[in-house]
Structures are given as C-alpha cells and as structure tokens.
Copies of this chain bind each other. A is one copy, B any other.
Amino acid sequence: MESRNTSDLILHAALALFSEKGFSATTTREIAQKAGCAEGTIFRYFPTKKDILISLVRPHALEELRRVMDNLPRQGEEENLRLILENRLKTIMKNKSLIKVVLTEAQYHDELKDYLMENIASHVFDTLAAYLAERMEAGVFRKADPYIFARILVGMMASLLLSESFYPMEGFDEKKRGDYLNEIINIFLHGVLKKED
C-alpha cells in the first residue's frame, strides 16, 4: 500500500503539506524534511515544485475517484443507492486530503484544472448523469436535466467534505457522518416536505 521508494515518500510528504498549508505556502525544504531526504533529492525526481503538484493527480492516484460513480444500481430500490453511496463516501473520505488539494489548487493552476475536468470530473458527471437519465426514462425519477441533478448530488457530498474541514474535531465522528449522508440521500430522493399520504 505505502510504497517506500523516495519518489513516493516525497509525494506523500508534499500531499500532507499542501493540504495543511497550501501549495504556494509550502517550501521544498519542508517537503524534504518531512520526506526524510535532502532538498536536492526532490529535484532528481521532479524538475520543479509544480511538477510535484501535478504528479499528485497523475495516473493512478485519482483512478479510484474517477470511478467513484461507476456501477450504480440499474434497477431496484433506493436502498441499493444508499448502500453504494455510503461505500463511495468512504473512498472520498479516504482521499480527503488529495481532494482538498486538487480542488483548491485547480482554481489557480490551469493544467491541473484542465486535467481534472477532462479526465476525472467529466467521467464522474457523465456516469452519474447517465444513471439519472436512465432512471428518468424508467419513470422512477422525474424528468429534468440530469447534469444539474448530478452536480447537485455531487455538491451535496462535497458539502460534507467542506463541513468536516471547518468543524474539524468537534462532533464529526463516524456516526454523524453517516447521519449526514443519510439525510443527503433522503433529501435527494424525497425532499424535506412531509409526505401527505
């Protein structure tokens, strides 16, 4: 799981520091210290500091997130959806630091943004929108722009990350996270209005 070669040690240290202080505020000296190598060693693996950032999102690092909305249940009840999203949420939480860094820095570095949009986001939204469109056709969901639904659902899950980033310790245990996700799915499926049946 944890590769122990120098390159990965550097990437691992850089991710932690970028997440904590931001890309620009992190120095290569700090990265070297945390990675347990000399500053010069960093530049044997990455020509520039920015290449470290870009390498974080490269090939396999984000593959798991790319597929985070794959294989949603094509038939059956929303209970399936609940279980599956709960599982995917764990993936998101496991990569919390990476997501935070990538989303934050993509605002400022176009290469990152372009790569993210073309290789990750578009796939996630296309997959999710296709699922939603199919359920609309099947008469399960009401008809609307499936991409708007997709972005709203992703936005709801992103809000969980945001919440957690702002309420770090206090009260965001596993249970509260589960409650939150449950309500996300409840609201997404049923809304907040009391049923009148």
Contacts and interface: CB of A to CB of B under 8 A. Distances in A.
Contacts of A141: 192-194
A183 interface: yes
Interface residues of A, number: 51
A154 B152 CA distance: 11
Nearest to A154: B159
Interface string A155-176: 1101110110110000000000
A67 interface: no
Interface string A77-121: 010000000000000000000001001101110000100010001
A183 B25 contact: no
A193 B194 contact: no
A160 to B, nearest CB: 7
In the complex, the count of this chain's copies comes to 2
A139 interface: yes
29 contacts: A22-B22, A22-B24, A22-B107, A22-B108, A23-B24, A24-B25, A25-B108, A78-B193, A106-B166, A117-B166, A121-B166, A141-B192, A141-B193, A141-B194, A142-B192, A142-B195, A144-B186, A144-B192, A145-B179, A151-B159, A151-B163, A152-B159, A155-B155, A155-B156, A155-B163, A187-B187, A188-B192, A189-B191, A190-B191
